[in-house]
Amino acid sequence: MTEFQRIGIVGRPGSESVKASTRRLAGLLRELQKDAAIEANYADEVKDIGLPTKTIHELGEWADLVIVVGGDGTLLGAAREICAFEVPILGINRGRLGFLTDIMPDDMERHVKAVLAGQYVKEDRFLLQASIERDGKEIAAGTAMNDVVLHPGQAIRMISFELSIDEQFVYSQRSDGLIVSTPTGSTAYALSAGGPIMHPKLDALVLVPMFPHALSSRPLVVAGDAQVCIKIGEDNTLEPMLSCDAQTSVQTRLGDMVCIKKLPHRLHLLHPTSHNYYAICRNKLGWGKKLVD
């Protein structure tokens, strides 16, 4: 497996625990004689570590590996920017859940050393690209690693829309919205809305209605390369929002067409060799453990 020499560091701003782990990580990289640089938007918080700064895109062009110190949300943001450069990402967990950032701070030095020496498990995760078309023209676009969500915004009202998949009409619906999720995102918002958990290796999407008016509306799993189109109903009394990973949002207008499909680039996510997806689910979701060892 690949050994890494040029390491980019991305951190979550505003966290003392993230700063502490970043300083430890910088010291480890110096000890291992690795070239390191820190993402510019985070660099002011850890000026004392003396690393050169680069924008997130410059890190994508320069680094062999990007290490994210923070929570899953920090990694999602980095992944959307780094994905096009095909640079692998490793996550140090300084958040809550840690489905993606699965190296705990107490084990950081041991696992990072092993990964940098080429001992790791690599997973390829796909992302989604979403666009909003108005009068036949694209007026906004975004990417998501977890999910693309159509929702009413701050108002508590149902919205109407029509769903098509691969240019075939599926249904019209009145609900609080629709979640279009990757397997990565199936343990996030889609899960809380009643969607299934999908193993990350699956090449599939899940469409999860949010509080649909018809009780027969259920989550729908489709092929990963399907093109999902949502037409915003003309009879809505509000203009719904479209959100990517709950981090970027755009307001739609009545009659807009939202198109969602797989991004051409894949994210290369690295884990320690001890990585076990089902163990993570047990720990994070409170599943029962083995009755007999």
| 145-158: pLDDT as tens digits | 999 999 998 778 89
Q: Which domain holds residue 199?
A: 127-264
Identify the band that residue 271 occupies on the pLDDT scale cut at 50, 70 and 90: very high
- Do residues 276 and 234 both lie within one domain? no
- Do residues 141 and 178 both lie within one domain? yes
- Do residues 158 and 54 both lie within one domain? no
User: What does the pLDDT read at residue 293?
Assistant: 65
Active site (annotated) includes residue 72 = yes
CATH number of the domain that residue 27 is part of: 3.40.50.10330
- Do residues 96 and 196 both lie within one domain? no
Structurally, how many domains does the chain consist of? 2
Q: Is residue 191 part of a domain?
A: yes
* In the block, residue with structure tokens 């110096």: 30
Interacting residues of 96 by C-beta distance below 8 A, sequence separation 6+: 71
Catalytic one among 72, 102, 176, 245?
72
The DSSP call for residue 103 is B
Q: Return d(Cα 268, Cα 210) in angstroms, integer.
A: 31
Q: Which residues pair with 96 in a beta bridge?
A: none
- Statement: residue 117 has pLDDT above 90: yes
Q: Return d(Cα 279, Cα 286) in angstroms, integer.
A: 10
Overall average pLDDT of the 122-144 stretch = 97
Q: What is the pLDDT of residues 19-31, one digit of tens each?
A: 999 999 999 999 9
Q: Is residue 293 part of a domain?
A: no
**Strand (E) positions, the chain?**
6-11, 35-39, 53-54, 65-70, 89-93, 121-134, 137-144, 147-151, 159-165, 168-175, 177-181, 204-210, 220-223, 228-232, 241-244, 248-251, 257-271
149-to-35, 126, 128, 221 alpha-carbon distances in Å: 39, 17, 11, 16
CATH number of the domain that residue 133 is part of: 2.60.200.30
Q: Is residue 236 part of a domain?
A: yes
116-to-21, 54, 112, 121 alpha-carbon distances in Å: 17, 21, 6, 12
Overall average pLDDT of the 222-244 stretch = 97
- Do residues 137 and 250 both lie within one domain? yes
pTM: 0.94
- Do residues 260 and 279 both lie within one domain? no
121 near 271, Cβ under 8 Å?
yes
Q: Is residue 36 part of a domain?
A: yes
Q: Is residue 290 part of a domain?
A: no
Q: Is residue 87 part of a domain?
A: yes
- Do residues 85 and 145 both lie within one domain? no
